[in-house]
Amino acid sequence: MRRKGVNYSKYGYIFSLPFIFAFLVFSLYPILYTAAIGFTNLQGLIPKPIQVLDNPFQNFKDLIYHNVAFRTSLTNTAILWITNFIPQIGLALLLAAWFTNQRLKIRGQGAFKVMLYMPNIITASTIAVLFSTLFAYPMGPVNSLFEMMGWSDGPIFFLQDKTTARGIVSFIQFWMWYGNTMIILVAGVMGINPALFESAAIDGANGFQTFFRITLPSLRTILLYVLIVSMIGGLQMFDIPQLFIVPSGGPDNATLTTSVFIYGQAFKGSYLYNRAAAASMIMFLIAAILSAVLFYIMRDRDAARIKKEEKKLRKAAKAAARGA
Amino acid sequence: MKRYLTASTAILLLTSVLAACGGNNSSSGNSSPSPSPSPSPSNSNASPSASNTSKDKVTINLWAFTDEIPNMSEKYKATHPDANVEFKTTIIATTDGAYQPALDQALAAGGKDAPDIYAAEAAFVLKYTQGDASDYAANYADLGLTDQMVKDAGIAQYSVDIGSKDGQLKGLGYQATGGSFIYRRSLAKDTFGTDDPATIKNEIGPGWDKFFDAAAKLKAKGYGIVSGDGDIWHAIENSSDKGWLVDGKLHIDPKREAFLDLSKKLKDNGFHNDTQDWNEAWFADMSGTGKQPIFGFFGPAWLINYVMKDQVKDTNGDWAVTEPPTGFFWGGTWLLANKDVAKNDAKKEAVAEFIKWVTLDTSDTGLQNYWANGTMKDGEQGTKDSVASAVVMAKSNGTIDMLGGQNMFDVFVPANANASGKNLTQYDESINSLWRDQVREYTAGNKNRDKAIADFKQQVKDQLNIDSE
Amino acid sequence: MANMERSGTVSRGINKTMIYIVLIFLALLSILPFWIMFVNATRSTPEIQSGLSLLPSTHLSTNWNVLLDKSFDPIRGFFNSLIISGAATLLTVYFSSLTAYGLTVYNWKMRQSFFTFIMCVMMIPAQASAIGFYQFMYKLHWTNNFLPLILPAIAAPAVVFFMRQYLLATLSIEMVEAARIDGSGEFYTFNRIVMPIMVPAVATQAIFAFVANWNNLFMPLILLTQKDKYTLPVMVSLLRGDIYKTEFGSIYLGLALTTLPLFVIYFLLSRYIIAGVALGGVKE
């Protein structure tokens, strides 16, 4: 196949160079800086000589063992991510299936696709203001609606109740991002070999079968992407919890995510940069471990799946050839 | 995807670290930060030269979080055509906490682009006058603004207390935000038989016991005394004997702790409409369209002029102000000067002149006269506001339609004098929001009193690293 | 047989109705905030404070005047935002595609470790790398400069990951090899043959990147302190002022003005998504 024995592998390096260069310049230095701070006593607004702590891991120890709010924030982050990601991926998959289903031929799907992504265009602070107006207490649109429909006896203080407050934050995240996820999935479905769908149609598979047997397995790589990016995004959930409820993270720390916690460490008046940095590093470790686990599991199956698919494809081709 | 958003927001985190780093920079070398070439070559040789004959203008870097003070600088130039000064303004909104990190950075970095005059809001002014960043601020005395001038202008004591560190004045405001009680005349007549401020003052105070007696009387007539518990919080916060911190430890002043019980009492007896400040229902109570008519609001002059005026609707003219059951203040802006301006005589003079005009000039051409009478813009009747100088207020006309023609300055002069500025800390904003969150948990019945206090202490420790006593 | 088909179409008809109901509901939910934003742009501050409304009011010109009074320069803001977001988006999609291509097509020794490296980079919380970034820009004297807002876009690990996954699913090595046989250079192959195949992926990622850059507030807010460098979101944030006398009407007008260009660009780019790029480049 090679033409005159040219070795193309050097292009792999060349094509990756800009990325590496930009990363080294704009990210690595700041990251190392942060990592280093975590082991020091850097606190307070006015610069003092920075010293590495006697026990370099003191900040980490304090956070993990003595800081109730930090542990709460980890739990909250997990809860808020799971409760928004499951419906989000579910709805996005459903929509992607609808939009790419050749038999359904949904009219105006272009317009729908465009509109469903729109919540992502508006800034988080605008959305936060809008939703706190919607769920205002004791007077507000949602409360009026509930009263009109007879669903509640008196006004409900949505943002003071832990469950509803979390639910609303979760819903906003879900609502802001399902369109984004859907677009990625649709793009993924479009990359699936049409021959697979055709052969499925020939085999008389219905919509459900096609979706679960063909679409979903072929989407694995894209699903992995969505899963990991969303998980990392979820771990870093910041804007809505920060801006939506006063105090940020309230009520009673029910929506305090790790990012909000970290921000507070550095900004709520005490300038605990070292603790903020240490917490960032813990977050990094968690993200790395979770992603590594996810990636490992998914990739193994992925490889197996590709082999299977190839077999299937060959079979289908054979069958088609025979049929012809 | 999500990374972009969070990445952008989290950037904030770094910005204050850089204050620390910036400091290191300047000590390690000459890295005075020059945000790319400034287009005014005229000020490049503003070095202190013995000959003061040069016609070069002095450039003052002015940092603010609204266009209020920059507008004043325009007015200053208009009224002082011979002032040899140019303002280079930087406005960064306090929105999303961006102002302080940027200001801290610029102060720490120093150099020719460092802020010469900067503004600080009540929520964080302590940090710049007495707290971590107070070392950057010049003493007013070093600018030639003496304590005698402050005395002569009749500046409210609380404002001076907040602006001073160890007796050295570092910041003053142009507004005074001493609080009053703003009430509905018609409800007062119905309940107390009169709407006379002098009488109502003694019905609702002094002290919270009398206030709650009045609340009971109002409730009997079907009225709430305030809109929500946030309304009494500002009054309670600033009338406590001690602030949140005593010797570096969290201290819950008995008067602030009592907020738990007062708030519960308001809620359990239906003395309020259970609103939160700045929400729809709170505004609705200003026009009497809430669940039950609300008797009054606690607030300074700005609440009347900037907030209520447009919200009272049909109840315009049905309001009056009187002194509150306990003195307090709410909000305000302080002006500080960088201590480095003293290094350059021309600059020092220009900075001092401007600050004096804004904060201490009691003449008819001083800023506060314009501010109090709403004459900042020529020929246009602007908003009248309570100002820092009692002298200016005494000669100004504070009558307002909303108050049925009452001269509000009659109340705000004593209100400003009764406010205390001695119980603030630089952590107030954060600690207050944690405290009010736990108080709401308690009044909503989600947890008992002891648990609310314990959780409050734990959160302050977790988030601010402040132990409790 | 015919019967079965008919019942099939009927149930499909019902299904379709359900689908349309769901879609319309979701679409309404999506439009609502924009509608409220545009309506609020025509309402006065007290009106906005007294609650939501779905009907426009009459204060548009008042809000407009307040806006102009507050040194809001929509034209300059628009161009500043456009330069930053446009350049950052181009860099992100082009270099991410390039890197992804390098990762998929070439068999180089460091390939696997480089990919693992990119995965790790992606997992670094934004907080972590943020802390030192500003300090560094400050040292470089890059404040009030657009470069620190544009250049870091070259390294966008999540986009690289996406592009790689997309290439894995769609690109056939045979095509690249065919191009080589035709004497096409590697860069030429990438630019002329591979990029067109990647259009759906590029368009989607470009939208995400553009929106994120356009709405980015904090970094510009802190890096750009000169008036003539402000982006639109920075200008809007300055409208907010202090809480005591916020002109909400003009803020919403400012927000609406900020969103409008985004709309236009979004709709232009979204044509690729709607059209669903021809899958001609897909492997056999």
* CA–CA dist C182, A5 (Å, integer): 16
Q: Is residue B413 part of a domain?
A: no
Say yes or no: C34 and C99 in one domain: no
Long-range contacts of B148-151 (CB under 8 A, 24+ apart): B149/B356, B149/B360, B150/B360
> Rounded to a whole number, what is the distance in Å from the CA of C220 to chain B's nearest CA?
9
Q: What's the rounded mean pLDDT across residues B245-252?
A: 92
Say yes or no: C77 and C53 in one domain: no
Among A15, A32, A122, the residue with its CB nearest the CB of C34 is A122
B434, B436, B437, B440: CA torsion to nearest 10: 160
Task: Scan for tokens 């609020």, then name that residue.
Answer: C40
- Residue C204 belongs to a domain with what CATH number? 1.10.3720.10
pLDDT at residue A263, rounded to an integer: 81
Q: Any idea where the domains of chain A sit in the sequence?
A: 1-37, 53-323
Residue C101: closest CA among C152, C212, C175, C151: C175
Task: Kindly report which listed range (B123-137, B425-439, C163-177) carries the lowest average pLDDT score.
Answer: C163-177
> Rounded to a whole number, what is the distance in Å from the CA of A20 to chain C's nearest CA?
7
Say yes or no: C199 and C98 in one domain: yes
What average pLDDT does chain B have?
84
How many Cβ pairs within 8 Å bridge chains A and C?
269
Nearest CA in chain B to C131: B14
From residue C98, alpha-carbon distances to A14, B34, C155, C163 in Å are: 9, 36, 11, 9
Chain A residues with CB under 8 Å of C109 CB are: 9
Task: Kindly report which listed range (A215-219, B164-168, B426-430, C32-36) carries the lowest average pLDDT score.
Answer: A215-219
- Do C129 and A141 make contact, defined as CB atoms within 8 angstroms? no
Q: Is the pLDDT of residue B267 over 60?
A: yes
Q: What's the rounded mean pLDDT across residues A37-53?
A: 78
Burial, A315: exposed, middle or buried (Cβ in 10 Å; 0-12, 13-18, 19+)?
exposed
Chain A residues with CB under 8 Å of C110 CB are: 12-13
pLDDT at residue C11, rounded to an integer: 66
Q: What's the rounded mean pLDDT across residues B191-210?
A: 93
Percent of all residues in chain B with a pLDDT value above 70, rounded to a whole number: 87
Q: Is the pLDDT of residue B412 over 80?
A: yes
- Do C124 and A31 make contact, defined as CB atoms within 8 angstroms? yes
Say yes or no: C78 and C92 in one domain: yes
Among A12, A22, A273, the residue with its CB nearest the CB of C151 is A22
Residues 219-238 of A with CB under 8 A from B: 229-230, 232-234, 236-238
pLDDT at residue B48, rounded to an integer: 41
pLDDT at residue B218, rounded to an integer: 95
* CA–CA dist A249, B233 (Å, integer): 21
- Do A47 and B438 make contact, defined as CB atoms within 8 angstroms? no
Say yes or no: B149 and B209 in one domain: no
From residue C108, alpha-carbon distances to A15, A130, A167, B204, C100 in Å are: 11, 51, 48, 82, 13
Q: Compute the half-sphere exposure of residue C203: CA atoms within 13 Å on the CB side of its CA.
A: 23
* CA–CA dist C157, C126 (Å, integer): 12
> Rounded to a whole number, what is the distance in Å from the CA of A218 to chain B's nearest CA?
23
- Residue B206 belongs to a domain with what CATH number? 3.40.190.10
Nearest CA in chain B to A137: B275
B355: containing domain:
57-178+329-395
Percent of all residues in chain A with a pLDDT value above 70, rounded to a whole number: 89
Chain C residues with CB under 8 Å of A232 CB are: 122-123, 125, 158
Among B1, B17, B290, the residue with its CB nearest the CB of A233 is B1
pLDDT, tens digit (0-9, with 9 covering 90-100), for B20-51: 333 333 333 333 333 333 333 333 343 443 44
- Do A37 and B17 make contact, defined as CB atoms within 8 angstroms? yes
pLDDT at residue B250, rounded to an integer: 95
Task: Kindly report which listed range (A263-277, B302-316, B397-411, B430-444) carries the lowest average pLDDT score.
Answer: A263-277
CB-based contact (8 Å) between C50 and chain B? yes
Chain C residues with CB under 8 Å of B90 CB are: 225
Chain A residues with CB under 8 Å of C269 CB are: none
Among A113, A121, A139, the residue with its CB nearest the CB of C211 is A121
Nearest CA in chain A to C181: A3
Say yes or no: B334 and B389 in one domain: yes
- Do B18 and C135 make contact, defined as CB atoms within 8 angstroms? yes
Say yes or no: C223 and C248 in one domain: yes
Among B14, B284, B302, the residue with its CB nearest the CB of C131 is B14
CB-based contact (8 Å) between C143 and chain A? no
Say yes or no: B319 and B220 in one domain: yes
Q: What's the rounded mean pLDDT across residues A185-204?
A: 80
> Rounded to a whole number, what is the distance in Å from the CA of B361 to chain C's nearest CA?
25
Among B284, B430, B462, the residue with its CB nearest the CB of A68 is B462
CB-based contact (8 Å) between C127 and chain B? yes
Counting as low any pLDDT under 70, the low residues of chain C are 1-12, 71, 125-132, 134-135, 218, 222, 240-245, 272-284
Say yes or no: B262 and B199 in one domain: yes
Say yes or no: C50 and C71 in one domain: no
Beta-sheet pairing, B249-250 with B245-246: antiparallel
Q: Is residue B384 part of a domain?
A: yes
Instruction: Tell me which amino acid residue B433 is.
Output: S
Q: Which of B379, B395, B411 is the last residue of a domain?
A: B395
pLDDT, tens digit (0-9, with 9 covering 90-100), for A67-76: 999 999 999 9
How many Cβ pairs within 8 Å bridge chains A and B?
162
C240: containing domain:
66-281
Q: Is the pLDDT of residue B12 over 50?
A: no
- Do B281 and A139 make contact, defined as CB atoms within 8 angstroms? yes
- Do B104 and A45 make contact, defined as CB atoms within 8 angstroms? yes
- Do A15 and C34 make contact, defined as CB atoms within 8 angstroms? no
CB-based contact (8 Å) between C19 and chain A? yes
Q: Do B443 and B264 form a contact (C-beta atoms < 8 A)?
A: yes
> Rounded to a whole number, what is the distance in Å from the CA of C169 to chain B's nearest CA?
21
- Do C71 and B66 make contact, defined as CB atoms within 8 angstroms? no
* CA–CA dist A115, C28 (Å, integer): 9
Say yes or no: B240 and B109 in one domain: no
* CA–CA dist B8, C209 (Å, integer): 12
Q: C197 or B78: whose pLDDT is higher?
A: B78
Say yes or no: C73 and C18 in one domain: no
Task: Kindly report which listed range (A143-152, B180-189, C63-72) carries the lowest average pLDDT score.
Answer: C63-72
Nearest CA in chain C to B64: C241
CB-based contact (8 Å) between C244 and chain B? yes
Burial, B5: exposed, middle or buried (Cβ in 10 Å; 0-12, 13-18, 19+)?
buried
- Do C221 and B311 make contact, defined as CB atoms within 8 angstroms? no
Q: What's the rounded mean pLDDT across residues B259-272?
A: 94
Residue A4 banded pLDDT, cuts 50, 70, 90:
very low
Structural domain count, chain B: 2
B220: how many CB neighbours lie within 10 A of its CB? 9
pLDDT at residue A296, rounded to an integer: 78
Q: A197 or B396: whose pLDDT is higher?
A: B396
From residue B37, alpha-carbon distances to A319, B18, B34, B47, C140 in Å are: 73, 22, 7, 18, 14
Q: Is residue B111 part of a domain?
A: yes
Task: Report ipTM (2 d.p.).
Answer: 0.82
pLDDT, tens digit (0-9, with 9 covering 90-100), for B204-246: 988 999 999 999 999 999 999 999 999 999 899 888 889 999 9
Cis peptide bond upstream of B324, omega within 30: no
Instruction: Tell me which amino acid residue C187 is.
Output: F
Q: Is residue B11 part of a domain?
A: no
DSSP state for residue C65 in the 8-state scheme: H
DSSP state for residue C141 in the 8-state scheme: T
Residue A218 banded pLDDT, cuts 50, 70, 90:
confident
Q: Classify C247 as helix, strand or coil.
A: coil
pLDDT, tens digit (0-9, with 9 covering 90-100), for B344-354: 899 999 999 99
From residue B358, alpha-carbon distances to B125, B339, C258 in Å are: 17, 18, 35
Say yes or no: C19 and C129 in one domain: no
Q: What are phi and psi of B171, to 5 degrees?
A: -155, 145
CB-based contact (8 Å) between C240 and chain B? yes
CB-based contact (8 Å) between A173 and chain B? no
Q: C276 or A293: whose pLDDT is higher?
A: A293
Instruction: Tell me which amino acid residue A175 is.
Output: W
Q: Is residue B110 part of a domain?
A: yes
Residues 69-88 of C with CB under 8 A from A: none
> Rounded to a whole number, what is the distance in Å from the CA of B349 to chain A's nearest CA?
28
Say yes or no: C75 and C56 in one domain: no
- Do B36 and C144 make contact, defined as CB atoms within 8 angstroms? yes
Structural domain count, chain C: 2
pLDDT, tens digit (0-9, with 9 covering 90-100), for B319-357: 999 999 999 998 889 999 999 998 889 999 999 999 999
pLDDT at residue B378, rounded to an integer: 67
> Rounded to a whole number, what is the distance in Å from the CA of C157 to chain B's nearest CA?
10
CB-based contact (8 Å) between C162 and chain A? yes
Q: Is residue B304 part of a domain?
A: yes
Residue count of chain A: 324
Pick the CATH number of A53-323 from 1.10.1660.10, 1.10.3720.10, 3.40.50.300, 2.30.30.100: 1.10.3720.10
Residue C193: closest CA among C209, C177, C204: C177
* CA–CA dist B361, B358 (Å, integer): 7
From residue B407, alpha-carbon distances to B296, B393, B399 in Å are: 18, 10, 4
* CA–CA dist A172, A84 (Å, integer): 8
For residue A12 the two structure tokens come to 């792999």
Say yes or no: C212 and C275 in one domain: yes
> Rounded to a whole number, what is the distance in Å from the CA of C177 to chain B's nearest CA?
33
Say yes or no: B454 and B307 in one domain: yes
Beta-sheet pairing, B296-299 with B180-184: antiparallel
Q: Do C59 and C43 form a contact (C-beta atoms < 8 A)?
A: yes
Say yes or no: B322 and B223 in one domain: yes
- Do C19 and A273 make contact, defined as CB atoms within 8 angstroms? no
CB-based contact (8 Å) between A58 and chain B? no
Q: Could you tell me the pTM of the whole model?
A: 0.84
Residue B9 banded pLDDT, cuts 50, 70, 90:
very low
Nearest CA in chain A to B135: A46
Mutation target among C16, C20, C108 for the A interface, most CBs of A within 10 A = C108
* CA–CA dist C19, B362 (Å, integer): 71
Q: Is residue B402 part of a domain?
A: no
Can you give the three-state secondary structure of chain B, one letter per residue? CHHHHHHHHHHHHHHHHHHHHHHHHHHHCCCCCCCCCCCCHHHHHCCCCCCCCCCCCEEEEEEECCCHHHHHHHHHHHHCCCCCEEEEEEECCCHHHCHHHHHHHHHHHCCCCCCCEEEEECCCHHHHHCCCCHHHECCHHHHCCCHHHHHHHCECHHHHHHHEECCEECEEECECCECEEEEEHHHHHHHHCCCCHHHHHHHHCCCHHHHHHHHHHHHHCCCECECCHHHHHHHHHCCCCCCCEECCEECCCHHHHHHHHHHHHHHHCCCECCCCCCCHHHHHHHCCCCCCCECEEEECHHHHHHHHCCCCHHHCCCEEEECCCCCCECCCEEEEEEHHHHHCHHHHHHHHHHHHHHHCCCCCCCHHHHHHHCCCCCCCCCCCCCECEHHHHHHCCCECHHHCCCECHHHHHHHHHHCCCCCCCCCHHHHHHHHHHHHHHHHCCCCCHHHHHHHHHHHHHHHHCCCEC
CB-based contact (8 Å) between C92 and chain B? no
B166: how many CB neighbours lie within 10 A of its CB? 7
Residue A280: closest CA among B15, C218, B16, B13: B13
What does R_g of chain C's alpha carbons equal in angstroms?
24
* CA–CA dist B127, C121 (Å, integer): 37
Say yes or no: B75 and B95 in one domain: yes
Q: Do C217 and A123 form a contact (C-beta atoms < 8 A)?
A: yes
Say yes or no: C43 and C132 in one domain: no
Chain B residues with CB under 8 Å of C209 CB are: 4
